[in-house]
Structure 1
Amino acid sequence: MPLTESPVETLKPTRRTMARISSGTFPVSRGYRLRQMLYNPWSIPRYPNNASWTGGIELDGLDETGLVGSDETPDVIIPPMPFDDAPVYADTIDLSAVALHQVWGGLLTPENIAAQVHTNDIRYHAWVAAMKVVEQDRQSRKERTPRERPLLDATMDQFFVELSLALLDLCPGPVIVFVDPRLHDNAAAMVDRARHLVALFDKANLPATEDGIRAAAVLTEEYSIQTNLSLVSCLPHAAACIEAGAKMVTMSVGGILEWYEQQQKPVPKLTVDHPGIEMIQTCVSYILLNKLNATLMTADIRNWTELKQLSGIGGAALTEKQLDQIPMRTLTTWFPRSNDTSRSTINARAAPYPTRYLESKPGFLMSLLPANCRSLVSAVLYVRLGQMKVWMEEIEAVVKDELKHRIKLAKMDVIGMYRCKSWVRRRASKDADGKKSSMGGLSRRSSSSSLASNASVSDSDHLEKPRSSSDCKGTATPLVEGVDYF
């Protein structure tokens, strides 16, 4: 059900109630919110004629939306409500859930892939990726062209491609695919991996390490590739990412709030005054006040109360469970007023723009951040990268298993296997000795023909694969010893 506020005793709004109405992000549509204000008497602020709101904005019968009170209720005025719809990104690869909720875009992460990589739906895409890569490798060997990438790396990339294409069929917006987080300390490798994927994806998701930030700058300036820097944790960190050309920065709401809650005892209440909420809101206000060509997306949201405290966000990544709880396709986010005097807005105005973080020498960018920001970056960014490494190894194990199986199938030519004379004689003689009484003197030739005709139903464990291809004619090229296929 849409979120609504409880009725208030007085119809005249206070500064506190007006702040509640005109801020935050809600899982309701803009039209629903407007109808709620028009038709719910307790939610419509009433003023005496020609009176002004306590916040200092003059209301003389006409507001920013062009709505005025009717003749029957001339004192009813809708206050200015700057708002916009924040797109929802599916933080899940459950294709049925994405199709059901009709979200704007998709978000691939090591966590949401590892959570379902053992399901049949996801393993199917790993099987398709392995099949395509092995076939491409066989063709390149026939044409004697060098292999561009190791087979396992190519299969991993193709696996992410297959998952993203499946999401693109269900989402009108972009799908954000990540670059292997195990490359977080190698800017050149991240640039190479992102360029390899750019032909199929709108955005590349990089971890916001120093090398990730510098890789984003190269991808933006030299190749015009849109990037999303994830695991951003504080204002200086976000400022450096935006100046590097990141089109989107993603902040881990749960991780940031947990760090602040561990630092302060007792645990601060989850309101707009929560230091973690204030830090995230400062980053949002920094983007809005400086009119930067970037958006801030929230991820790892623990509950709706956290999202309700934030205003002006550019998008939200929701899990499958959270998608089941919203009635609309988008979220309504309310922007801070121009005369907002909250601490987050004051801090955003005081923050320098542009900064000089990117002018630092390689390896010193993070050291220029304030001490509390460095601690926050370590807790949110590097701890998460350690978790991502474990998830990537789990995904890689599944993809590697499918690749091994596909290579075995590609190198096994059943018809050629039965043309190996020495192997056929040996198997035929065994069958002739074991079935001599029941077969009534069948010739060795007929026994061999019977074996070949029943090959499709034979147990593969009983088949002896020839060790040498020199005795076989028409078989596929065997695996080459000494070649690192993985």
Structure 2
Amino acid sequence: MTQSALNQLKNMTTVVADSSDLAAIEKFRPLDATTNPSLITAAAQQTENKVLIEDAFQQAKSEGYSGDVLVEHAIDILTVKFGVEILKLIKGRVSTEVDAALSYDTDATIAKAKELLALYQTYGIEQNRILIKIAATWQGIQAAKALEAEGIHCNLTLLFGLPQAQACAEAGVTLISPFVGRILDWYKKAEKVEHYPIDKDPGVLSVKQIYHFYKQNCIKTEIMGASFRSIEQVLGLAGCDLLTIAPNLLAELQQDQREVVTQLSDDHAQAHCQHTVAALSKADFTEQLQHDLMASQLLQSGIDGFIKAREQLSTLLRQSFGLDAEIQP
């Protein structure tokens, strides 16, 4: 019997669920899972998760918080609670994101990461099962460097090109999440192109470039392709270290019977390690990022989008618990 494309893919790549939908995670049983503020906000609006929201609010309130601080702490607790529930369904790790509003503040990012880990510890979750997810700004990368030095593993997200990937590697980051679909969307709009064949897909090519750079320089940081628009994009990166895939695409892959061919392999690259890359300074990083209009625009819009999603979650909590009158000046 022919294996599904999903099962074939699992034989060559670690498949990760890009979702906070507990039912979907239970159905597809990925090794790891990733979350972000948008996914948490969507999951929080599902009726079956009402108890998690109420518990998070009551826990924050019992700790003496009030007003805006109560809401923010409740969001952190809720985010961790989703992570805890996800970890009950998978064998691997869950990525939990630091508030995107802290993306340009290294010290605040470090502090928030440690707060989230402390919350996980209250639920008996071991630190090695958590990846702290941070936007790949220069400040975020430096926060990850400090956290990694303390044994706290990080996933650098909103990554759109080689300069970000190189800086993450130099920081000793555990994992990066280059975004495939958002890159494709940007180029389709900028170049007024309706469709790219998969071998010319800008998002797929960006991840391949990063993959080859990493493997040719014996960089241990894992690469997890993210933000897919189609199963063709997913299969175009078969063999990548990890791929985080939304439930609708996981369902398509499960139904697809095509033969999956490995597109990325480090066998050849590892045999030709170079170790010749000059380190990026902050000035180099900033200049290269600014000269890449796609990467700079998508990084900022991604941060703005995650901030907006958290604000929507804040509004949901305030409305659910009648806090609007209490918080309004």
Task: State TM-score, norm by structure 1.
Answer: 0.58
1:61-107 deviation line (CA, Å, top 9, x unaligned) = xxxxxxxxxxxxxxxxxxxxxxx532222222221121111111221
| 1:339 to partner: Cα distance | 6.0
Match of 2:117 among 192, 195, 198: 198
1:174 matched to 2:107? The reply is no
| 1:240 to partner: Cα distance | 0.6
Structure 2, unmatched stretches of 5+, are 121-126
Aligned to 1:355: 278
Q: Is the partner of 1:157 in helix, strand or coil?
A: helix
| 1:285 to partner: Cα distance | 1.2
Conserved? CA contact 1:286–1:349, under 8 Å: no
* Identical pairs, percent: 20
Equivalent pairs counted in the alignment come to: 313
Matches within 5 A, 1:162-311: 162-199=81-118, 200=120, 202-221=130-149, 223-264=150-191, 269-311=196-238
Aligned counterparts of 2:315 and 2:86: Cα–Cα separation in 1: 23
The structure richer in helix per residue is: 2
| 1:291 to partner: Cα distance | 2.1
RMSD (Å) for aligned C-alpha atoms:
3.3
Q: Is the partner of 1:27 in helix, strand or coil?
A: helix
Aligned counterparts of 2:194 and 2:54: Cα–Cα separation in 1: 48
Conserved? CA contact 1:251–1:298, under 8 Å: yes
| 1:355 to partner: Cα distance | 3.4
Conserved? CA contact 2:179–2:203, under 8 Å: no
1:410-458 deviation line (CA, Å, top 9, x unaligned) = xxxxxxxxxxxxxxxxxxxxxxxxxxxxxxxxxxxxxxxxxxxxxxxxx
1:110 matched to 2:1? The reply is no
Conserved? CA contact 1:91–1:107, under 8 Å: yes
Aligned counterparts of 1:124 and 1:370: Cα–Cα separation in 2: 43
Conserved? CA contact 2:215–2:266, under 8 Å: no
What letter corresponds to residue 279 of structure 2 in structure 1? R
Aligned counterparts of 1:150 and 1:30: Cα–Cα separation in 2: 44
Match of 2:317 among 390, 399, 402: 399
Matches within 5 A, 1:153-164: 153-164=72-83
Q: Which stretch shows the higher mean deviation, 230-239 or 87-96?
A: 87-96
Q: Is the partner of 1:228 in helix, strand or coil?
A: strand
Aligned to 1:335: 264
What letter corresponds to residue 116 of structure 2 in structure 1? L
Q: Is the partner of 2:64 in helix, strand or coil?
A: helix
Q: Which stretch shows the higher mean deviation, 250-259 or 111-120?
A: 111-120
1:97 matched to 2:97? The reply is no
| 1:175 to partner: Cα distance | 0.8
Aligned counterparts of 2:9 and 2:35: Cα–Cα separation in 1: 28
Structure 1, unmatched stretches of 5+, are 5-25, 32-83, 139-146, 409-478
Conserved? CA contact 2:60–2:70, under 8 Å: yes
| 1:133 to partner: Cα distance | 2.1
Matches within 5 A, 1:417-428: none
Match of 1:377 among 295, 300, 319: 295
* Distance change in 2, residues 1:2/1:391 (3 Å): farther
Q: Is the partner of 2:198 in helix, strand or coil?
A: coil
1:28 matched to 2:28? The reply is no
Match of 1:121 among 48, 53, 61: 48
| 1:304 to partner: Cα distance | 1.1
Aligned counterparts of 1:236 and 1:326: Cα–Cα separation in 2: 32
Aligned counterparts of 2:233 and 2:2: Cα–Cα separation in 1: 16
Aligned counterparts of 1:390 and 1:265: Cα–Cα separation in 2: 28
RCO (CA 8 Å, sep 6+): is it higher in 1 or 2? 2
Aligned to 1:390: 308
Conserved? CA contact 2:14–2:31, under 8 Å: yes
Greater Rg over alpha carbons, structure: 1
| 1:320 to partner: Cα distance | 1.8
Aligned counterparts of 1:97 and 1:87: Cα–Cα separation in 2: 17
Aligned counterparts of 1:252 and 1:136: Cα–Cα separation in 2: 38
1:226-274 deviation line (CA, Å, top 9, x unaligned) = 0000011111221111211211100111111223334446566323244
Matches within 5 A, 1:425-440: none
